[in-house]
């Protein structure tokens, strides 16, 4: 990483929304990458859209969005898929209908599993096998940590101006632990 990229990461302002477990994991990951301006918002906070942020990372396992629908910045949506994690990035110019869908975690898992099956993507069997657990609302600490890890790296790529995959494309990873 160049000194210019490190400076851009340090200057990038990121808002993180989610449950305490996710917030703790992603804060650690973001700080390790050099992010300095991290605004933490828990789901119980009834805060308006944060001002002066460049990226929003919002964990969407269960419950509704509190910030994302009106976001004018890149939005990173990490998902705990029990045996792994998935991430969808929604850029400001992208269609945001996805954000109003109920049970977004289950929808994202089904979409990603179907995509992998249709295109014969190898190494995605774990996601198909996890679908019943996802439907039943199970979560995993290892998957949350994996989601936070992927999310932080995507935020760093956005901060330094690298191209990132965004919806309808996605990121998928089996648990790192």
Indicate whether this model's pTM tops 0.85.
Answer: yes
Give per-residue pLDDT as tens, 97-146.
Answer: 887 788 889 999 999 999 999 999 999 999 999 999 999 999 999 999 99
Segment holding 9, helix H or strand E: helix 3-11
The answer to whether 103 touches 172, Cβ cutoff 8 Å, is no
H-type helices in 34-103, by residue range?
none
State pLDDT tens for residues 86-109.
999 999 898 888 877 888 899 999
Q: What residue spans of 12-140 are helical by DSSP H?
A: 20-33, 104-118, 125-135
């Amino acid at each position: 990483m160049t000194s210019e990229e490190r400076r851009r990461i340090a200057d990038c302002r990121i808002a993180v929304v989610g449950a305490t477990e996710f917030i703790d994991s992603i804060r650690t990951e973001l700080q390790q990458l050099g992010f300095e301006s991290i605004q933490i918002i828990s789901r119980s906070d009834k805060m308006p859209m944060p001002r002066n942020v460049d990226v929003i990372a919002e964990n969407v396992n269960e419950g509704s969005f509190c910030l994302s629908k009106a976001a004018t910045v890149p939005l990173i949506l990490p998902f705990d898929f029990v045996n792994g994690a998935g991430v969808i990035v929604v850029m400001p110019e992208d269609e945001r209908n996805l954000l109003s869908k109920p049970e977004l975690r289950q929808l994202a898992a089904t979409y990603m599993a179907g995509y992998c099956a249709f295109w014969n993507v190898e190494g995605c069997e774990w996601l198909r096998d996890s679908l019943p657990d996802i439907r039943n609302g199970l979560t995993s600490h290892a998957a949350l940590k994996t989601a936070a890890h992927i999310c932080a790296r995507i935020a760093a790529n956005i901060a330094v101006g690298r191209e990132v995959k965004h919806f309808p494309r996605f990121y998928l990873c089996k648990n790192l632990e």
